[in-house]
Amino acid sequence: MFSILLVLLIIVAVFMTGLILLQKSEGSGMSGSAAASMFGGALTGAAAGNFLTKLTTWLAIIFFVLCAALALVSSKSDIANVNQSGLRDELAADELANEPTPENATAPATPAESEPVTVDDKK
């Protein structure tokens, strides 16, 4: 389920990015040249602006619904996988095995004594 929702989210994101790039901006954007050639002039002018705006709005709504659904599915699957996965148990066992116990604990090493420093006053 998670994979299907993720693929749909990616497809919607790609379509939404393309639609946003097609829309007319202050600098005329790509809609002046690309939309006229791709759609044979059917999406030019005011009709194109209304159609692209409505389609972008619907894609944005679908995008946010898919994001919420992915978060819900992910949280549900994480809760289910915690009980099924033994990884946490293995990590906890490794941490306990590596901790020093009173039987195998060693005394801290003492620093070696250094030799006294002598200074020659011969000049």
For residue 108, the model assigns a pLDDT of 57
| Sequential DSSP letters for the chain | -HHHHHHHHHHHHHHHHHHHHHS--TT-TTIIIIIHHHTTTTT-THHHHHHHHHHHHHHHHHHHHHHHHHHHHHHHHHHHHHHH--HHHHHHHHHHHHS--TTT--PPPPPPPPPPP------
- Chunked mean pLDDT (size 10), the chain, 123 residues: 89 92 67 55 62 90 94 77 62 72 58 61 63
Is the whole-model pTM more than 0.85? Answer: no
Domain residue extents for the chain: 46-75
For residue 64, the model assigns a pLDDT of 95
